[in-house]
Every structure is written in C-alpha cells, then in structure tokens.
Amino acid sequence: MNPFAFHTPHAIVFRPGASADLATVAGPRLGERVLLVTDPGICKLGLCNPAIAALEAAGTVVTVFDTVEADPSHATLMGAIEAGRSADVTGVVGFGGGSSLDVAKLAALLLGSGEDLDGAWGVGNARGPRLPLVLIPTTSGTGSEVTPVSIITMGENEKRGVSSPVIMPDIAVLDPDLTLGLPPAITAATGVDAMVHAIEAYASTSPNNNPLSRTLAREALRLLGAHIETAVHDGANREARGAMLLGSMLAGQAFANSPVAAVHALAYPVGGIFHIPHGLSNALVLPAVLRFNLPEAAGTYAEIAADAFPKLGEIGTQARADAFIGELEALRIRLSMPTRLRDVDIPEDALPRMAADAMKQTRLLVNNPREVSEADALAIYKEAW
C-alpha cells in the first residue's frame, strides 16, 4: 500500500436545523467578531438569518458580506477581506454555495496570516495561519465545505486555485433544511457535479489516491445515484435532500485527498469564458472525457458503475464501463439538463481557445488516467459540442 495523507475538517455536524444552532455548534471557536460570507440570493431568501440571530443572541458581533457572485472575482475576495479587516474579525463563516465557501476560505487565510495571495496560488503554497473557519453549504454539489481548495476568477476568465490543507475548515455544518426548495435545475447541476467529484477521485492517478478516498467515493455514488432524481423532481423530500447533502460531502472528502482531473480541467474554460455554472460545465463535458479515458480507465469505471446505477451490476465487466457512460448521459436527459455545449450557446469556433485554456490546468490534468494533449482536448470539446 502506498503512503498517503488524508485531511478533513476537525468536526462535521450533520443535523436538520444545525445552522440555526450555530452559536452552540461553533460560537466558541469563532470568537467575538465574525465575518459571514454569502451571496445576495441567500440573504434575500433569509436562509442565513437564523444563524446570524443565534450568534448575535450569544453576544457575537456579525459582519455580513453578501455580494459574492458565481465564479467569484479577485475584487470580490478583496472586498470580503476588507470587510473583515475593518471589523477586526476573529472568525469567518462561509454560508452558501461553493462560491461563497471559496471566498470565505481565502478570506480566513489572508485575514489570519496577512500573506501575499500571489504566493499562495497552486498546490501547498499557502502558509497560514488562518482565522477560525466554519463552512455551511446550501447546495449539494461542490463539497467545498470539506475540501482544501478555493477557486477565484482572475481578470475576464482565468481561474486560479489555492490548494492547501491550511484552508480546510475547522467545522463543516451540514443542515439539510437549507437545501429544501432548491430549484430543480440547480439541484440537478450540483448533484451531477458531486457525482463527477466521486468518479474523478476514484479514478485519479494522484500518488495520494488512497483507500479512504476510494471508499468515500463509492458511498457518495450510492447516495447520489439513488436520490438525485427524487431530489430534483420532489424538492421537499427531506430524505433525498439529506442523502444528497451527505453524498456531496463524502465526494468532497474523496477528491480533497485524491484530486480531480480532466473533467474539471475542461469544465473550467466553459465556466470561465462563458460563465456557465460549474456543475453544469462539468456535466456537459463528462461523458466525452470518460469516453476518452476508456482505454486506460475502463476497469476502474466498471468497478464503480453499479454504485451509481445498481442495475449495471447485472451485466459483464467488459460492457459495464460503456454502459456507465451511457447511464450518465441518460441521467442528464432525465434531469432535463442541457447535454451539448451548443445548448448553452457556446459557438463551435470557440473550441480551440477553450482547448488552449484547458491545458493551463496542469494541477488537474496530471491526475487524469490518460494523458491529454491540446489536440485531445479539442477533440473532446468537439464531441461534447
């Protein structure tokens, strides 16, 4: 067995209503002055109000930064840091989707350490220390609440990442009630995103691919595969919502330690250039990337196929990997998702630029089961178009 390291938050709290009890769950760790990072939609819905009220009732001063957008920009990150610095905060709470959680991670890092962001980009370069950090997801997709990764958009469309155990949160609070009523399209995209995390973590060629990550990835696929359609079509189903939230978190733990690969590398230009949500970007290129990987990964995909789609356990191993990809394609249709790049208004003449941009994601491509050249990336985009 190869040596490995497995990093995860100090504590994970899974309980309906847990966010409304935030002062008890995490108040002592956060301190007297807290920066809560979220987005305008979350504030408009009032989802964060019970958590804020709980902290304030316990005597905590809460500064709310609520202007995080999808694919958060460097300017947004700097705005959050300035808000935290002005309030002299002692802890940070990220509340929302992956974008809010990513901003919260780097805000906690830079407020706590004062280090230069330019020196933190990449893998293992963040030094810390950071401020105490609690993350509360409101979607079941990114798994950001348990990962050491934060992605920020620089300039018009370049995505940069910080990957370091230093930005792993102290506590992840999973409250299934926060995901009730999430719109079907968002539920579908984030759910498939979580499935991608599990698939890529399991198949990753990272030297740190390990038994814990593989076990978590398979359990994540069982939960997600069994409940995603119910969660999309019956958004008030608490059992399905809870299973999706837990599955997303397990997939996050898996890829936090066994990193993702070419699906994400090729999805980033889709989101960065055309501002397609991350989960949908992954879903659009997923089948084409997996099909490209088949010469090297057919056996690996066959191992996990029946976890997501139990009926595939009834067919032979040789045919199972192909059938797995087919089931993922059919799932997108059943979830009423766009299935082609052209369906989201990406022009064919943009594909070469996207392929060139995808090759910049070296930290991801190195983990792919099959080496990807720029010509390969272009061919994958053409298949997905």
Tell me, yes or no, whether 155 and 208 share the same domain. no
Q: Please say whether the beta carbons of 77 and 106 come within 8 A.
A: yes
Tell me, yes or no, whether 171 and 204 share the same domain. no
Tell me, yes or no, whether 117 and 204 share the same domain. no
CA 365, 367, 373, 376 dihedral sign is: negative
**pLDDT tens digits for range 297-315:** 999 999 999 999 999 999 9
**pLDDT tens digits for range 223-241:** 999 999 999 999 999 999 9
As for how many domains the chain has, the answer is 2
The whole-number pLDDT of residue 295 equals 96
The CATH number of the domain holding residue 167 is: 3.40.50.1970
Tell me, yes or no, whether 217 and 363 share the same domain. yes
In a domain, 6, yes or no: no
In a domain, 3, yes or no: no
Tell me, yes or no, whether 190 and 98 share the same domain. no
Look up the domain containing 277 and give its range: 182-384
In a domain, 292, yes or no: yes
The per-residue pLDDT of the chain, averaged, comes to 95
Question: By C-alpha distance, which of 115, 169, 165, 119 is closest to 145?
Answer: 169
Tell me, yes or no, whether 193 and 210 share the same domain. yes
In a domain, 123, yes or no: yes
Last residue of a domain, one of 110, 145, 178: 178
Tell me, yes or no, whether 152 and 232 share the same domain. no
Burial 23-46 (b: 16+ CB within 10 A, else e): bebbbeebeeebbbbbbeebbeee
Tell me, yes or no, whether 121 and 218 share the same domain. no
In a domain, 162, yes or no: yes
The CATH number of the domain holding residue 213 is: 1.20.1090.10
In a domain, 4, yes or no: no
Question: By C-alpha distance, which of 241, 264, 251, 272 is closest to 70?
Answer: 272
pTM recorded for the entire structure: 0.94
- Residue 195: pLDDT band with limits 50, 70, 90: very high
In a domain, 5, yes or no: no
In a domain, 234, yes or no: yes
The whole-number pLDDT of residue 89 equals 98
- Residue 158: pLDDT band with limits 50, 70, 90: confident
- Residue 349: pLDDT band with limits 50, 70, 90: very high
Tell me, yes or no, whether 60 and 83 share the same domain. yes
Tell me, yes or no, whether 171 and 187 share the same domain. no
Instruction: Compute the average pLDDT of residues 65-87.
Output: 95
Burial 270-290 (b: 16+ CB within 10 A, else e): bbbbbebbbbbbbbbbbbbbb
Q: Per-residue pLDDT for 157 more than 80?
A: no
End-to-end CA distance of the chain: 41
**pLDDT tens digits for range 2-36:** 899 999 999 999 999 999 999 999 989 999 999 99
Phi, psi angles (nearest 5°) of residue 374: -65, -35
The whole-number pLDDT of residue 27 equals 87
The whole-number pLDDT of residue 64 equals 98
Tell me, yes or no, whether 46 and 63 share the same domain. yes
Tell me, yes or no, whether 99 and 213 share the same domain. no
The whole-number pLDDT of residue 94 equals 98
